[in-house]
Structures are given as structure tokens and as C-alpha cells.
Amino acid sequence: MSNEDELNTELVENAVHVKLPAFGVNNPRVWFIQLECYFHFRRITSQQTMFSYVVSQLPTEVAAEVIDLIDPMPASNPYNTLKAAIIKRTATSDEANLQKLLAGVELGDRTPSQLLRHMQSLVCGKSFDDAILRQLWLQCLPLSTRQILATQSDVPLSSLAETADKIHECFADRLIASTSQQQIQRNDNPVIARLDRMQAQIDQLAATVNRVVTTVERITTSRKSRSVSRKPTFPSRNLTDSAITTQNSKTRLNVAHSMRLRLS
């Protein structure tokens, strides 16, 4: 029996028994794991048979992504070749998945090691490269801390987190000390203290002026509305225009009469 006959026989024998899962666009790796369990259960081992099953289940848009490996079919290990191409071309990268999972995570009031444990708890049970988690964790740390840790690329992540805690604590102490010293210097300087008082008075005066302006605008608006309601009724414009036209006609007649008298 030829290889083609063996392939056709295997397809016929297993087509009735195998119900393949729908292709998982969001996670093709999981789909292939499920698919290979079916193949193992039905003892399907032929590369060509598995290739044909996969092609028959691919959505049109996914098949278009790997059309160069579907037509023509690879001569060697067609299933393995097609599987690798589908995962590479359609699957979201681990880094993108991890970034989506950890979106919005910030250092906040945590120490670097607390942040790392929090991120690890969010990805618990999911398989990710530690290097990707390490990079995303470092991105959440202050720039000064990252610059120091950049020289320790070979240190395990847990040890790096402990070092980051010490750096973070050191910078926090310096910030508190610097802020306290600045406040002491500010309080001891009479010129700065006087400027602070003047600024407070200006702010208070500005608030008072704003209240007065608001009150005046409210009163003005109220008076205008009452004035409009008491506005007297005037003759219509049509009557006024008619009177003006009549007066102009009389004036023209008087002028014409005077000119005739002069000529006579």
C-alpha cells in the first residue's frame, strides 16, 4: 500500500471519531496542546494527516497568514512546520500578554520587593519568561534605582529586589532629610517668612474680590431683568415710519411752493 493510500485510510478511520476543538485565535498554543491530545488518543501520528486536520480547522484569516506553507505542503514534517509558523505569526508575544496582565501596576507606597511579589501573584499559574517579568518590574522603579541596578544583570531577581529595597530606603531617607532641612531654612529666614505672609494676604484678598464681583454681577443681572419687564410699550414701527413719510411729503411740497413764488 502506498503512502497516499495509508493517509487516506487513516483519515477515513479517524474522521468519524475525532471532534477537533475550534481554533483558539487568542492562544494558539493551547489549541495545539488540545489538538495533540486528540491525536494521541486516536493514535494519529502521520505528519501529513495531522497537517490536513489543522488546515481543515483554520479560520480563513489565519490560513491566509500561512498560505505559503499550505500551498504547497512542506515536503518534510509538514505538521510541525505549519504548527511553528502559526504560533509565531499569530500568537501574542509573552511580553505583550504580561504587559496586558500587569497594566496599571505601580510602585506607589510599596517597596521594590513588595511590588515584585505583587506582580508575581498576578501572574501566578501562568508561564512567562523571568526575563520579561524582570524588565517590567524594573520599569516600575524610579530612574535612579534602575540606573544602579542596571550593573547587576546576572543577579537573581529575588536578590535584586532586596538590593532595590536598600537603594529605595536610602533615597527615601535622603528625601525626608532634604525636605526637613529646607523647611527649617525657610522658617529661619525672615525674608521668606514675610513673603509667605504677603502671599497668604494676597490670596485672601483675591478671594474677597472674586466674591464681590460675583455679587455685583448677580445684582446687575437682576436689575436688568426687572427693567425689561417694566419697559413701556411704544407705537409700532410701521406707524412711526408712516408718520415720517407724511412729514417728508409735506416738507417737499412747501419747498416746491416757495420756489414757484420766487420764480414768479
Domain ranges of the chain: 3-91, 95-181, 189-224
Residue 134 and residue 208: Cα distance in Å, rounded? 55
Q: Which positions ≥6 away from 254 have C-beta within 8 Å?
A: none
Q: CA-CA distances (angstroms) from residue 171 to 140, 151, 158, 165, 180?
A: 16, 18, 20, 10, 14
Residue 60 and residue 190: Cα distance in Å, rounded? 78
**Model confidence at 119, in pLDDT bands (50, 70, 90)?**
confident
Of 122 and 62, the structure prediction assigns the larger pLDDT to 62
Q: 0.95 cut: is pTM over it?
A: no
pLDDT at position 2 over 60: no
Q: How many CB atoms lie within 10 A of CB 51?
A: 22
Q: 4-13 as b/e, with b when 16 or more CB fall inside 10 Å?
A: eeebeebbee
The candidate with the shortest Cα–Cα distance to 31, out of 91, 102, 96, is 91
Q: What is the mean pLDDT of the chain?
A: 75
**Model confidence at 81, in pLDDT bands (50, 70, 90)?**
very high
